[in-house]
């Protein structure tokens, strides 16, 4: 006899739904894994950007204040703001999408296991009863054949048997009939139990089917909510990032290069004036007084003195 579960339409529909649900669960886990990697990238990028912003801020501390340095200060603040945005985005993805999704998936997995156990339990009852029916049917068939053979023997031996032998065969036939009735009743009861067990199994399949459908609706709604939240965060991220870039653009547009260059020229000019050393010419007038009292003045010295006086 064929397995009663094989051709049951309820069982086929339930297995198809389970396969569909398993594919949906795998997709949900893959999406959550991608979101986790995105969150990790956002947080990692935020940390790197914060380090760069700190380096730029330290570099600006040792730089003379000017339009250029002010613009770069805005760029440093922009890096910090962008880092905060990426940090918040990564944390938001983890808290609002990844964590709730894993919680829902864990709860659904427990419910699905409970449903599968319930279906398997009732299915095992059906199989067990089915095997009992097979055994009872085989036993009934064997007893029926023996009873029919005994009945044929009694019918065919009426003329050739003594009264004692005839009574003995009749007693055997009576016992065989009682045994056959008991086995037939047993087989009937097994069939009735099988009928109720099969109904229970089919009802269990139907109820579990509806429960898994509800789980699928919950999972689909969860994915939809995650998409909406992700879209909102990305939209807000873009708007805030645009505002930050606008501030940097305004700071850059206010740069006055000529003013910075003029300030540098003035500062370096003051420094050059303060550090300029005085150039002194050699005073040869003292040689004129010396020449009056010195009889033998070298020609070269006389010539130098005349040139100096001419100047």
Tens of pLDDT along the chain (311 residues)? 567 787 788 888 888 999 999 999 999 999 999 999 999 999 999 999 999 989 988 888 877 777 777 778 878 888 888 899 899 999 999 999 999 999 999 999 999 999 999 999 999 999 999 999 999 999 999 988 988 888 888 777 776 777 777 788 888 888 888 888 999 999 999 999 989 999 999 999 999 999 999 999 999 999 999 999 888 888 888 887 777 777 777 766 766 666 656 665 666 665 455 555 554 545 554 545 544 555 544 555 445 545 544 54
Q: Report yes or no: 183 and 140 within 8 Å, Cβ to Cβ.
A: yes
Helix, strand and coil percent figures for the chain, each rounded to 5: 90, 0, 10
Residue 139 CA, chain-centre distance (Å), reads 60
pTM of the model as a whole? 0.66
d(CA 60, CA 63): 5
Alpha-carbon distance values, 125 to 15, 64, 132 (Å): 18, 88, 10
| CB-neighbour burial class of residue 58 (10 A; exposed 0-12, middle 13-18, buried 19+) | exposed
DSSP state, residue 63: S
Q: What angle do CA 130, 131, 133 make, to 5 degrees?
A: 65
């Amino acid at each position: 006899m064929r397995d009663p579960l094989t051709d049951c339409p309820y069982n086929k529909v339930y297995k198809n739904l389970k396969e569909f649900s398993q594919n949906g669960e795998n997709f949900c886990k893959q999406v959550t894994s991608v979101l986790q990697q995105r969150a990790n990238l956002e947080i990692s990028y935020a940390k790197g950007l914060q380090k760069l912003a700190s380096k730029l801020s330290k570099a600006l501390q040792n730089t003379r204040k000017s339009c250029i340095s002010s613009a770069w200060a805005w760029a440093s603040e922009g890096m910090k703001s962008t880092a905060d945005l990426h940090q918040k985005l990564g944390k938001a993805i983890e808290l609002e999408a990844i964590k709730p999704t894993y919680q829902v998936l864990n709860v659904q997995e427990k419910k699905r296991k409970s449903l599968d156990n319930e279906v398997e339990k009732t299915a095992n009852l059906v199989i067990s009863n089915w095997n009992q029916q097979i055994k009872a049917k085989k036993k009934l068939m064997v007893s029926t054949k023996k009873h029919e053979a005994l009945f044929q023997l009694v019918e065919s031996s009426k003329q050739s048997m003594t009264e004692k032998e005839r009574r003995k065969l009749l007693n055997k036939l009576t016992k065989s009939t009682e045994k056959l009735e008991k086995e037939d009743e047993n087989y009937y009861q097994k069939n009735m139990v099988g009928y109720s067990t099969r109904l229970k199994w089919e009802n269990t399949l139907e109820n579990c089917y509806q429960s898994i459908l509800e789980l699928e609706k919950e999972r689909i709604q969860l994915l939809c909510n995650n998409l909406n939240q992700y879209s909102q965060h990305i939209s807000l991220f873009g708007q805030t990032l645009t505002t930050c870039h606008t501030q940097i653009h305004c700071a850059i547009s206010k740069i006055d290069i000529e003013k910075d260059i003029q300030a540098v020229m003035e500062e370096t000019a003051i420094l050059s004036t303060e550090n300029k050393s005085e150039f002194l010419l050699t005073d040869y007038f003292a040689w004129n007084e010396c020449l009056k009292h010195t009889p033998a003045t070298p020609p070269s010295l006389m010539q130098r003195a005349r040139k100096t006086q001419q100047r």
